[in-house]
Chain A
Amino acid sequence: MSTTAPAPSLAVAGLAYAYPDGHQALFGVDLTLRRGERVALLGPNGAGKTTLVLHLNGILEAGAGSVTVAGLPVAKAHLAEIRRRVGIVFQDPDDQLFMPTVREDVAFGPAAAGLRGAELDARVTEALDRVGMTAFADRPPHHLSFGQRRRVAVATVLAMRPEILVLDEPSSNLDPASRRELADILRSLDVTVLMVTHDLPYALELCPRSVVLSGGVIVADGTTQELLCDEELMRGHRLELPFGFDPRSVTLPG
């Protein structure tokens, strides 16, 4: 993991946004992710997590403040490059896998960026290889198990060689084995990861650092273990650990 990178993978400064119906979701978010970091974004329902994620690749445009991805500001002019750099894995893999076969789906992003022929094939194979789904390249997504679909969804984004990988609830609906397999895959990647989740043990397992988004602002930023052990913070923002889980007792690898 490189710790001294020239430009941070992601820099969000003073980001505020209100939906067209007048409901304001973000009230000035500041967040910086160094290159290669894995960070969990925690927060109760309705805290503005999804809204924040949709700003990272310019789907929503900041009402105020700015988002910068590896030195490049998110703006209309270079939206295509921003969307290549920021890979978002959405919560429901059925939304993400819209092409008829796994191979075409993984090829979609790089092909939209202009890749063709052998280069494109190599990119697809590499991405599928990293999630261990090469054998399923010609299957329709509908025929895969949920865990497999989630892994292919990750591959569709990896194929674009993103600067930062943003995962929305990566562990939802996964059985324990799929959950562990996904964790192994995510650990093996050398990209910056921002993981939006309610699954606190998963955050602790994968992300050394966490931030808590509540009421449209970042209310805490620190090591995941510290945050999870701060009972007052947890209670104040509707974050609850699963029954019998004690973050203090967990010894973290590396």
Chain B
Amino acid sequence: MGAGHTHKLYRDGASPVHALPAHCKLAAVFCFVLIVVATPRTAVWAFALHAVLLAAVAATARVPAGFLLKRLLIEVPFVAFAVLMPFVAEGPRTHVLGLDLSVSGLWGAWNILAKGTLGVAASVLLAATTELRQLLLGLQRLKMPPLLVQIASFMIRYGDVITDEMRRMRIARLSRGFEARGVRHWGVLAKSAGALFIRSYERGERVHLAMVSRGYTGTMPLLDATTATRTQWTRAAALPLAALAVCLLGWTL
């Protein structure tokens, strides 16, 4: 994984989408996904329109299609689930290419695939155009409890440090001729995991000392004064509003 304020999904850029404040984008993406989920599955064309909307955002943000599609692989386990549905669901059956399939199962599979894919694509776009720490600040501005934001930022800050430690432990194991090949080697791996926990916890205690030494009393000084202008909110709202129109059409048509 990446480090610091860049992570593996983030793509540096200067597009209008990159320039929007993180909390506007977060709110927009959340509303968009909510609307997608609420769109009736029978309105197949509506999902095509949703996809077009996302493609337009991706184009504005200059995020290449290949990058977006690659990331959709995260869905695979659920695709498997979806593929099974036509076979196991109930209801009237239909015959496609000699397979006996459930109609409702087919709809269910389509529903999950379409909504899941749009959801992942929207999240990927958000992560691709927003710096990690801006995302955290955005969550804070959206009134997520500050303590939770702090925990999340410590997780991000030290995720790399701890992953590095884990990698070094692995190299140490390899250098001593140990390579885990099966269940019988789990003991050694678990010892590493245990050691990793102890190191993480002790580091947490040291970080606490370092914080207290610099006057920390439980609340982070809030240094972030970013506010979004009306124009920025309007721009961010374009996506969910367009999606809402599509969704409403889907219900009425």
Q: Which residues of A approach B to under 8 Å, CB–CB?
A: 54, 57, 59, 80, 83-84, 86-88, 90, 92, 94-96, 98-101, 104, 107-109, 111-113, 116, 120, 139-143, 156-157, 160
Contacts and interface: CB of A to CB of B under 8 A. Distances in A.
Interface residues of B, number: 27
Interface in B205-226: 206-207, 209-217, 221, 223
11 contacts: A84-B215, A86-B213, A87-B214, A94-B203, A98-B210, A100-B133, A101-B5, A108-B211, A108-B214, A112-B215, A141-B157
Interface string B125-139: 000000011001000
B213 A100 contact: no
What's the dominant secondary structure at chain A's contact region? helix
Contact of A140 (B5, B214, B216, B223): B5
A124 B207 CA distance: 21
User: Considering residues B153, B160, B213, which has the most beta carbons from chain A within 10 angstroms of its beta carbon?
Assistant: B213
Contacts of B213: 57, 59, 83, 86-88, 90
Interface in B72-128: none
A109 B210 contact: no
Contact of A90 (B154, B160, B209, B223): B209
Interface of B: 3-5, 132-133, 136, 153-154, 156-158, 160-161, 203, 206-207, 209-217, 221, 223
Nearest to A143: B4
Nearest to B205: A95
B206 A83 contact: no
Contacts of A87: 213-214
A142 B215 contact: no
B234 to A, nearest CB: 29
What's the dominant secondary structure at chain B's contact region? helix
Contacts of A94: 158, 161, 203
B202 to A, nearest CB: 10
A160 B215 CA distance: 10
B215 A80 contact: yes
A109 to B, nearest CB: 4
B135 to A, nearest CB: 11
A95 B210 contact: yes
A112 B3 contact: no
B141 to A, nearest CB: 15
A139 B3 CA distance: 11
Nearest to A57: B213
A142 B212 CA distance: 21
Given A90-B209, A95-B207, A157 B3 contact: no
A90 B161 CA distance: 17
A162 to B, nearest CB: 10
